[in-house]
């Protein structure tokens, strides 16, 4: 390459493309984590009071959600007060 500006433009373009790839991978991983957490929360909401669900991953990370025993009763009281 005889033109130094072409070399600079090529290096900058390659760097920007690598950075964009890293950002896309990071966003995809973050979106996946949100989806896993939302799925776990939905599962816990469909179970009996007092249930504990834990999502363990191969990398050692874990997310635990506990459903309070009185949660269903509180909802019933709130809904009963509104239906007047």
pLDDT higher than threshold 80 for residue 76? no
Average pLDDT score over the chain: 81
Distance CA 63, CA 48 (A): 19
3-state secondary structure 5-60: HHHHHHHHHHHHHHHHHHHHHHHHHHHHHHHHHHHHHHHHHCCCCCCEEEEECCCC
Q: Is 44 exposed, middle or buried (0-12, 13-18, 19+ CB in 10 A)?
A: middle
Residue range 20-56, pLDDT digits in tens: 999 999 999 889 888 888 888 888 888 888 888 888 8
| 83 — pLDDT class (breaks 50, 70, 90) | very low
Confidence (pLDDT) at 80: 54
């Amino acid at each position: 390459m005889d033109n130094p500006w072409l070399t600079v433009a090529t290096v900058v373009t390659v760097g920007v493309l690598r950075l964009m790839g890293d950002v896309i991978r990071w966003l995809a991983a973050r979106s996946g984590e949100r989806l896993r957490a939302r799925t776990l929360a939905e599962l816990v909401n469909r179970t009996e009071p007092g249930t504990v669900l834990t999502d363990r991953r191969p990398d050692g990370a874990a997310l635990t959600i506990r459903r309070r025993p009185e949660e269903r009763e509180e909802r019933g009281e709130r809904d009963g007060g509104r239906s007047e």
